[in-house]
Chains A and B, each alone.
Chain A
Amino acid sequence: MPKRTDIHKILIIGSGPIVIGQACEFDYSGTQACKALREEGFEIVLVNSNPATIMTDPEMADRTYIEPITPGVVEKIIEAEQPDALLPTLGGQTALNVTVQLAERGVLERHKVELIGAKLDAIKRAEDREYFKRTMESIGLEVPTASYAHTPEEAQAIAETIGFPCVIRPSFTLGGTGGGVAYNPEEFDRIAKLGLELSMIKEISVEESIIGWKEFELEVMRDRADNVVIVCSIENVDPMGVHTGDSITVAPQQTLTDREYQEMRDAAIKIIRAIGVETGGSNIQFAVHPDSGRLLVIEMNPRVSRSSALASKATGFPIAKIAAKLAVGYTLDELPNDITKQTPACFEPSIDYVVVKIPRFAFEKFPAADPTLTIQMKSVGETMAIGRTFNEALQKGLRGLEIRKDGWVASASVPKDVLRQRLATPTAERIFYLKQALVEGVSVDEIYQLTKIDRWFLRQLYALVLEEEALKGAKDQMNACASAPMGAAIQVNGVELLRRAKGLGFSDRQLAGLWGLDETVIRGWRARWGVQPSYYLVDTCAAEFEAFTPYYYSTYEQPVLKLEAGSRKLEETNPASSLQPPASKKRRVMILGGGPNRIGQGIEFDYCCVHAAFALREMGVEVIMVNSNPETVSTDYDTSDKLYFEPVTLEDVLNIVDRERPDGVIVQFGGQTPLNLTVGLAQAGVPILGSAAEAIDRAEDREKFKRLLDELALRQPSSGTAMTMEEAVLTARRVGYPCLVRPSYVLGGRAMEIVYDDEQLALFAQRAFEASPGFPVLIDKFLEEAIEVDVDVVGDGEAFVIGGLLEHIEEAGIHSGDSAMVLPPHTLSDDILGEVRRAALSLARALRVVGLMNVQMAVKDDAVYILEVNPRASRTVPFISKAVGVPLAKVATRAMMGLPLHAQGVTAEVVPPFLAVKESVFPFSRFAGVDILLGPEMRSTGEVMGIDEDFGRAFLKSQLAAGQWLPKSGTVFISVKNRDKRAVVLLAQRLEELGFRLVATQGTAKALQRSGLGAQPVKKIHEGRPNVLDAIKSGEIQLIINTPSGRLPRADEILIRSAATALGIPCITTVSGAQASVNGIAALIKRQVTVKPLQQYHALLRTA
C-alpha cells in the first residue's frame, strides 16, 4: 500500500515545554516526523509552544505556530489552516490529550480533519483504565486486579479477595497523596480510612500489589496492512514500583527465555491489534512475577514515547520517522531500513551489544522533596550507554551521567541497618549503595530479597566488585609492568589485566584512583600497549548485513589474531572495528554535546549543537557528533555525518579524537559539560574552535574579569571571595547587605542565595563551602529591585553583532533561567538600552569573541552593572533566534569556521516589531510540599514562548503555554510583604477595574482598603478557620498574588503556594510578575487570542 494521495496538509502537535516525564524525546520524534513527511511532499503545519526545539525551526514545517497547545488555540489553527489530517501520536501525552479534547468538542469533525496514526477510540481504549482492562480481558490477558471502594467496609471486602500486600490509591487527591501499600489488615484499615478521607469524591481503589515484580517494555510498530514488528525489548533493573522513567533500564531484555519472551511478544501484538492503533509505534509495559512467571499487562501508550526514543537510539531503528510514514499509508515492507539500505524496515532489530539507560535526578534543587522513587516520575533527564556487556555499558553510563562519578562507585559507608534500609528503598543513590553492600560482603541473595533487583544484574555487579579487588591488588604488578620490556611475561599479564578492566568499563580515572596514579598515566600505558577502544556500529542486524550509517560506540575487545606462514601476529585491522576512518578530503569538525538533560543544561544546548551540525554540513564540512543523551536530536544519526554515542568525558572524547583527528572541536554549544573539557583537550593539543582559550579564561577568572571591566570602564556590583567563614562575614560586611552568596564552579545557580544579614550569611555560606569544597565562596553585592537584562552577542573576532536583548520580567535575584523575559525590552529607556548595547559590544570586542557570548547585566537607578559574561552559547539562543529570525548558533558556527559576519549578511541587530515573551516551566507539581518561590537557584525544567503584537497578549500566551491559566474573572487573593504593599495597590486597583473581587490577609487588606479598594480580609492559616487555605481548596480563589515575607518563607506561605500548584490555580510570587499578569488578563478580557505562524512574523522582519 503506497502513500496516500487523498491527504495533502497535515497538522502535527508537539509536546510543549520540557517537563518531567516529557522532555526532548518529543522534539526528536517530532523533528523526524516533520522531515519524513515533507520528504514525501506533504504540507506540514506544526504547533508547539517550545522555542528551544529543532522542530519549531521555521525550515522544519511549512507553517510553524509557536502558540500555546490548548484546545482553543489549536482549534484556531485548524480554522486558519484547514488541514486534511492530524497526526497526534508524536507529541507525547500533551498532543494526545489536546487531540481527544478537539475530537470531543467536534472540532475535527467540523473541519473534516482526519486523525491519522491512532483514532479516537483507540486512544480511549488505551488511556481509560477501565476500558483498557476490559479490552485486555477480552483477549485473554491479565491486568493487576483492582476494585473501587467508597466505605471502609467495602475496602475491607476487596482487600480480602485481593490479599496482601495491596495498594490503596485515593481517587482525586492532590498529587497522589494518601495512597500507600498495606502489608496487613491493620495497616490496610488505617491507609484505607485516610485515603477515603482525603479523596475529594470519597473513593479509593484497592489494587493487587505488583511491587517487586520484574518490569519489561516492548516497542511495537504496526502498519495499515496489519504487519506488526517488535523493535526493541527493555528490561528494568529497578523492578515494579519505580516509574520506568526513573529506573535504570537495559535493552534488550536479559532474563526471559525465548519461550517467555515470545509469549510477551504475542501478547504485545494482540494488544496493539485489540486497542486498534492503526499505524505507528506503541509502547507496552508488562510485569512478570519472578517466581511464577505470571504475566500482567500494565499499560500501553498508543503513541511514541520516551521509551521509543530510547529504543530508536538503542537499535538504530528510527521509530518516529517510520511511524510518520506509516501514518500516511506506507507499509513496513515498502520502507527501507536506513542503516542497511538493502533490507526493508519490516524486521526486528537484532543487537549484539547491551544498552543501559540511567536517569538523572535533580533532588539537590528540591531539598524538601521526598527522594524516594515511586510510580510518579521524578527524574529530569537520562543518559544512555552502549557496551558489549552490561557492566561495560553500566560503567560508561554512570560516568556519562556527569554526577562526578567516574563509573560505578560505592556509596559512603553506613551502618548495616542503614545500608539495608537504603537498599530496600529505591532512590537515585541506590545503585551506589548496592556496591557498598557487595563490597561489605552482603550476598547477592540477601540484596535480592531487599531490592528485588533480578539476581542476574546483581551477579554482574558482583563480578565488577571482584574485578576491582583484583585490580587494587595489582598496583605493584602494574608499576612493574610499566617498566618491563615489551613481551616480558609480567608485561603481557599487566596488559591483559588492563584490557580486561577496560572491557568491564573501568574508566582511566577509576583505574588511576585504584593505583594512585594520574589519569594521563593510564592513557599513556594504553597508547603504548595498544589497549585502545574498538568502535563498533549500531547496525540493527548484529553484523548480518552491511551497514552504511556511521553510528558508533566504543568497546574494548580481545584482539583478533591472524596466523600466517607459521607466525602468529596481531591482525592489523579488526574486521569489526574499522579502526581507520575512511579517508576524506573534507574538513572534519567534532561537536561535543551536553550529555544528559538536567536543570540548567537542557534542550537549548542540544539545539545549538544541532544547529552547528546543520551549518557545518551546509558548508561541506564533515560533522562528528559526540553525545550520550538518547532523547535528543543531536543523537539522531541523520543529524551529523558520524555519531559517536559516548559519554562526554575527557577520556572518551580524546579516544575519538585519536581516531578521527578532527580539524577542530566545538565546545561552546553543549553547555558546561564540554566547556569543562576545554583545558584537558587543549593540553592534549586538540584544536578548539571559537573564542580563544585566553578569552574564556579572562571572562571566567574573577580577577582578570575585574581588570577587564576596569579597562572598559564598566560597572560591576562590588564583590569579594572568602575561603573561611570569618572571611565571608568580613567580605559581606564590606560589600554590604543584601548580598549574593554562591560556590565556585557550579551550574544553574546551585546553592546560590541572597542573604540579608550575618545570620543568613553564616547558614548559606556554609552550604556554598560544602557545594564546592576547597574553593572560595563568591560574595557579590545584590542589587535589589534592579532590572536584569540578558544580551547575546555573536562575533567573528573582528565584527560583533547583538543577537538579542532580553529584559527580565522578574526583578534581579531570580535565576536568569527561571525568570520570564521579553524581547525587545519594553520598560527600559533608549538611553539605558544604548548603554547596555555599548557595554556588551565592548566586552565582545575586548574578548575578541568568535562565536557566541552571553552577558547578564542589571539596571538599577539608571546605572548599568555587568553581572556575568559567558563566552559560549547560552540558554537564550534558541528563543532569540526564533524571535529575531536569525539562526544565531549557525551564524556563530560559520564564524568559527572563518566566515566573517558581513559575508553572512549579519551586520546589525534585528529588533522585531512584535513582542516575544519567554516563560519558564517548573516541576513543582511533581514534588509535593516543595515551595514554588523563585530564587537565585535555577529550578525550571523548560520554557515556552508567547509571541504577539503587544506585551499583554504575548505574556498571556506565554502563561497559557506554561499552563498558568490566567482567569478572566473571579476572586484574587493578595498577600504581599510590606515592601511590596505600595506597588500592589496599583495592581489591585486595575484588577478591581477589570471586575475581580479582592480578598487579602489582614495587613494587605488594610493597605488596600486605605486606598479605597474593596478588599475582603481573610484569615491566615494559623488564625483559625475558615482560612485562606479553605478558600483556595473550595475553589473560591482564581488567582493568587503572594510575595514572600522574608528569605526564609513561613510554613503557611508554603502551604498556600503548594496548594495552589496542586490545584492548578495561578500563583504569582513577585510584584513584577503580577504586573505582567495583569497586563495579560487585560488582554484576555479585551479580545480573543489570535494565532499567527512564525514564518509570517519572520516575513515582517524582512520587510521592516
Chain B
Amino acid sequence: MTARAAWLVLEDGTAFKGRAVGADGEAFGEAVFNTSMTGYQEVLTDPSYKGQVVCMTYPHIGNYGVNDEDVESRRPWVEGFIIRELSPIDSNHRSQESLEAYFKRHRLIAVDSVDTRALTLTLRTQGSMKCGISTTERDPEALLQRVRSSPDIVGVDLVKEVTCEKAYEWPLVSTQQTAHSTQQKRHVVVMDFGVKYNILRKLAALGCRVSVVPASTGAKEILARKPDGVLLSNGPGDPAAVTYAIDTIRQLLGQAPMLGICLGHQLLGHAYGGQTTKLKFGHHGGNHPVKDLSTNKVEITTQNHNFAVQLDSIPGGAVEITHQNLNDGTVEGMRHKTLPVLSLQYHPEAAPGPHDAQYFFGRFMDLMDEVHA
C-alpha cells in the first residue's frame, strides 16, 4: 500500500498532513468531533451529519468492519471523515466489508494519521469551524482559500438534502412476521428531517405502524393519514432555516400527540415561538449524563447536535424542562404544559450509544394512549 497524502485544513489555518484512506477528491464542511469509542458506522450513516466533517476521537477506527445491519440510513452522509488510524483489518463475525472498502464504494473522502486530539482541542477551544480535506491539492494554502469560501451551515436548510423523496412505510422489507405477529397498536407518522433508522426500529418494536413522510409534507396531508402520533425526527443543520417544517409543526400542535427528537426538538422550540442558538462545538458522543427531572434518575445518553433551544425565549412559559444535561446544564428535554407534546434534545434511539433512554419511546406510547384513550 503506497500512502497517498491528504491535507486537512481548518478555517483558522491549522493544517494536518495525513494519509488518504478513502476516495480521491475534496470535501468541505463544518469540523466536529465525536467522542463515541464505538459506532463509527452509525455515525457515518446518521443524516444529522450532513454538512459536517466528523473527527472520531477514539484512535482505532474500522476494527470491526462494516455490516448491513448497523446502518442508520440508506447511505453515509458525513462530508468527510477524520481518524487517527484506520484498521488494516476488519475483525468481527458480522463484518461484511472493511471500512476502507466502504469509503471507496461510497466515494467518501477520509483521512487518517491525523493527530485527532490536537484537532479536537482546537475545536474545543476555538469552536466548530469550517474545514476541508483534499487528496488532490498539494498546496494547503490553496485549500485554505477554498475552505474559507465554502458555505457555512448556519442559516442553511440541510434537511432538504437528506429527507426521503416520497413517503414510505417501515419496515422497508415487510416480512411475514412483522406483518402478522405484532399487533400494530398505534400509527405514528414520522416527519423525516433525516431520520435515523433506529427511531423507526424502536417504534416498530413497540408495535407501531410507522409511516415516514418527507420533511416538506404539510400538516393537512399528515393529519389525513390519521396518525395516533407524530414523530419529529432528528436531522442536520440549523433549525431556523427549516421554516416550512416549523410552520407545519405549528399547525400540528394540539392536533396530534408529538415527540420531537434532536432537530425535531429544536424545530418544536421554534414552533413554540422560541429561538435556538449555536453551541461552541456542540455535543457529539455517547457519554453525556442527562437527568430525568421527573424521576431524578440519570441516564447516559447519545448526543449529536450543534444547536440548542433557548428555553426562556419561548413566550408565555408554555413549556417546562423535563431533562437536563448534567455536564453543562443545557436543556435536554421539554414538555408543553397543556398540549401532548414531548421532546428530547438527545437520542433515545441511541445507535450508537447506551440504551438508557429507550424507555422514552414508552412515554410517547403512554402519551398517545392518554390522548386516544
Residues in chain A within 8 A of chain B (CB atoms): 225-227, 229, 252, 254-262, 265-266, 290-293, 332-333, 342-344, 346-354, 388-390, 444, 454-456, 459-460, 463, 536, 541-545, 557-558, 560-564, 566, 568, 571, 574-577
Proximity string of chain B (239-252) to chain A, C-beta cutoff 8 Å, 1 when within and 0 when not: 00000000000000
Do A265 and B354 have beta carbons less than 8 Å apart? yes
Q: List 28 contacting pairs A-B, 8 Å CB cutoff, sorted by A.
A: A257-B38, A257-B41, A257-B64, A258-B41, A258-B351, A259-B70, A260-B92, A262-B352, A291-B93, A332-B298, A333-B298, A343-B328, A346-B289, A388-B84, A388-B117, A389-B85, A454-B91, A460-B88, A536-B117, A542-B33, A543-B57, A561-B140, A563-B15, A563-B141, A563-B144, A568-B140, A571-B14, A576-B115
Proximity string of chain B (96-122) to chain A, C-beta cutoff 8 Å, 1 when within and 0 when not: 000000000000000001111110111
List residues of B (1-17) whose CB comes within 8 Å of A's CBs.
Answer: 9, 13-17
Do B64 and A543 have beta carbons less than 8 Å apart? no
Question: In whole angstroms, what is the CA distance A265 to B353 when docked?
Answer: 10
Q: Does B287 interact with chain A (Cβ within 8 Å)?
A: yes
Which B residues are in CB contact (< 8 Å) with A229?
300
Which B residues are in CB contact (< 8 Å) with A544?
33, 35, 57, 120, 124, 285
Which B residues are in CB contact (< 8 Å) with A260?
92, 94
Q: Does B18 interact with chain A (Cβ within 8 Å)?
A: yes
Q: Does B297 interact with chain A (Cβ within 8 Å)?
A: yes
B42, B91, B117, B350 — which one has the most chain A CB atoms within 10 A of its CB? B117
Instruction: Give which listed residue, A261, A343, A389, A460, contacts B38 with CB less than 8 A.
Output: A261
Which B residues are in CB contact (< 8 Å) with A571?
14
Do A258 and B117 have beta carbons less than 8 Å apart? no
Do A352 and B63 have beta carbons less than 8 Å apart? no
Instruction: Give which listed residue, A350, A454, A575, contacts B58 with CB less than 8 A.
Output: A350
CB distance from B357 to the nearest CB of A (A): 12
Do B59 and A353 have beta carbons less than 8 Å apart? yes
Do B115 and A389 have beta carbons less than 8 Å apart? no
Question: In whole angstroms, what is the CA distance A254 to B120 when docked?
Answer: 21
Do A256 and B326 have beta carbons less than 8 Å apart? no
Do A347 and B92 have beta carbons less than 8 Å apart? no
Which A residues are in CB contact (< 8 Å) with B286?
348, 350
Do A227 and B298 have beta carbons less than 8 Å apart? yes
- A463 and B15 contact, Cβ closer than 8 Å, known pairs A259-B69, A262-B354, A352-B57: no
Which A residues are in CB contact (< 8 Å) with B328?
343
CB distance from B1 to the nearest CB of A (A): 10
Which A residues are in CB contact (< 8 Å) with B120?
352, 542-544, 576
Do A290 and B93 have beta carbons less than 8 Å apart? yes
- A558 and B289 contact, Cβ closer than 8 Å, known pairs A388-B59, A389-B84: no
Question: In whole angstroms, what is the CA distance A226 to B356 when docked?
Answer: 12
Q: Does B50 interact with chain A (Cβ within 8 Å)?
A: no
CB distance from B347 to the nearest CB of A (A): 13
Which A residues are in CB contact (< 8 Å) with B125?
575
Which B residues are in CB contact (< 8 Å) with A342?
327
Do B141 and A347 have beta carbons less than 8 Å apart? no
Do A542 and B57 have beta carbons less than 8 Å apart? yes
- A256 and B115 contact, Cβ closer than 8 Å, known pairs A346-B298, A543-B120: no
Which A residues are in CB contact (< 8 Å) with B350?
262
Residue of B nearest to A349 (CB): B287
CB distance from B70 to the nearest CB of A (A): 6
Do A347 and B115 have beta carbons less than 8 Å apart? no
Question: In whole angstroms, what is the CA distance A269 to B170 when docked?
Answer: 31
Taking A254-B63, A558-B16 as given, write out 14 further A-B residue pairs in contact, using a Cβ cutoff of 8 Å, ordered by the A residue number. A255-B92, A257-B94, A258-B36, A266-B355, A347-B288, A348-B287, A351-B58, A456-B91, A558-B17, A562-B13, A563-B144, A566-B141, A574-B118, A576-B118
Which B residues are in CB contact (< 8 Å) with A292?
93
Which A residues are in CB contact (< 8 Å) with B14?
560-563, 571
CB distance from B306 to the nearest CB of A (A): 14
CB distance from A189 to the nearest CB of B (A): 33
Which B residues are in CB contact (< 8 Å) with A262?
350, 352-355
A255, A262, A545, A557 — which one has the most chain B CB atoms within 10 A of its CB? A255
Q: Does B291 interact with chain A (Cβ within 8 Å)?
A: yes
Question: In whole angstroms, what is the CA distance A1002 to B344 when docked?
Answer: 85
Q: Does B330 interact with chain A (Cβ within 8 Å)?
A: no
CB distance from A666 to the nearest CB of B (A): 31
Do A558 and B91 have beta carbons less than 8 Å apart? no
Question: In whole angstroms, what is the CA distance A463 to B89 when docked?
Answer: 11
Residue of B nearest to A388 (CB): B59
Question: In whole angstroms, what is the CA distance A350 to B93 when docked?
Answer: 25
Question: In whole angstroms, what is the CA distance A225 to B289 when docked?
Answer: 14
Question: In whole angstroms, what is the CA distance A454 to B90 when docked?
Answer: 11
Question: In whole angstroms, what is the CA distance A697 to B348 when docked?
Answer: 67
CB distance from B130 to the nearest CB of A (A): 14
Do A346 and B35 have beta carbons less than 8 Å apart? no
Q: Does B25 interact with chain A (Cβ within 8 Å)?
A: no
Which B residues are in CB contact (< 8 Å) with A351?
37, 58
Question: In whole angstroms, what is the CA distance A265 to B300 when docked?
Answer: 12
Question: In whole angstroms, what is the CA distance A463 to B86 when docked?
Answer: 12
Which A residues are in CB contact (< 8 Å) with B300?
229, 347-348
Residue of B nearest to A261 (CB): B38
Residue of B nearest to A462 (CB): B88
Residue of B nearest to A288 (CB): B93
- A258 and B39 contact, Cβ closer than 8 Å, known pairs A459-B91, A558-B115, A563-B141: yes
Which B residues are in CB contact (< 8 Å) with A557?
115, 117-118
Q: Does B296 interact with chain A (Cβ within 8 Å)?
A: yes
Do B64 and A255 have beta carbons less than 8 Å apart? yes
Q: Does B67 interact with chain A (Cβ within 8 Å)?
A: yes
* CB-based closest 10 A-B pairs: A258-B39, A258-B352, A456-B91, A459-B89, A542-B57, A258-B38, A576-B118, A563-B13, A350-B35, A557-B115
- A346 and B326 contact, Cβ closer than 8 Å, known pairs A258-B38, A352-B59, A456-B89: yes
Q: Does B335 interact with chain A (Cβ within 8 Å)?
A: no
Residue of A nearest to B88 (CB): A459
B9, B37, B88, B116 — which one has the most chain A CB atoms within 10 A of its CB? B37
Instruction: Give which listed residue, A255, A346, A558, A562, contacts B113 with CB less than 8 A.
Output: A558
Which B residues are in CB contact (< 8 Å) with A576?
115, 117-118, 120-121
CB distance from A220 to the nearest CB of B (A): 12
Which A residues are in CB contact (< 8 Å) with B85?
388-389
Q: Does B87 interact with chain A (Cβ within 8 Å)?
A: yes
Question: In whole angstroms, what is the CA distance A347 to B356 when docked?
Answer: 12
Question: In whole angstroms, what is the CA distance A13 to B58 when docked?
Answer: 38
Q: Does B160 interact with chain A (Cβ within 8 Å)?
A: no
Question: In whole angstroms, what is the CA distance A334 to B258 when docked?
Answer: 33
Do B326 and A333 have beta carbons less than 8 Å apart? yes
Do B59 and A558 have beta carbons less than 8 Å apart? no
Do A562 and B35 have beta carbons less than 8 Å apart? no
Which B residues are in CB contact (< 8 Å) with A389?
59-60, 84-85
Which B residues are in CB contact (< 8 Å) with A293?
93-94
A258, A265, A344, A575 — which one has the most chain B CB atoms within 10 A of its CB? A258
Instruction: Give which listed residue, B35, B115, B296, contacts A542 with CB less than 8 A.
Output: B35
Do A350 and B36 have beta carbons less than 8 Å apart? yes
B88, B91, B140 — which one has the most chain A CB atoms within 10 A of its CB? B91
Question: In whole angstroms, what is the CA distance A454 to B63 when docked?
Answer: 11
Which A residues are in CB contact (< 8 Å) with B9?
563
Question: In whole angstroms, what is the CA distance A552 to B281 when docked?
Answer: 25
CB distance from A474 to the nearest CB of B (A): 16
Do A352 and B58 have beta carbons less than 8 Å apart? yes
Question: In whole angstroms, what is the CA distance A260 to B92 when docked?
Answer: 10
Instruction: Give which listed residue, B84, B122, B285, B289, contacts A575 with CB less than 8 A.
Output: B122
Which A residues are in CB contact (< 8 Å) with B42?
258
Question: In whole angstroms, what is the CA distance A723 to B297 when docked?
Answer: 72
Which B residues are in CB contact (< 8 Å) with A390?
60
Proximity string of chain B (51-78) to chain A, C-beta cutoff 8 Å, 1 when within and 0 when not: 0000001111001100101100000000
Question: In whole angstroms, what is the CA distance A544 to B285 when docked?
Answer: 10
Do A347 and B91 have beta carbons less than 8 Å apart? no
CB distance from B280 to the nearest CB of A (A): 11
Do B117 and A352 have beta carbons less than 8 Å apart? yes
Do B326 and A257 have beta carbons less than 8 Å apart? no
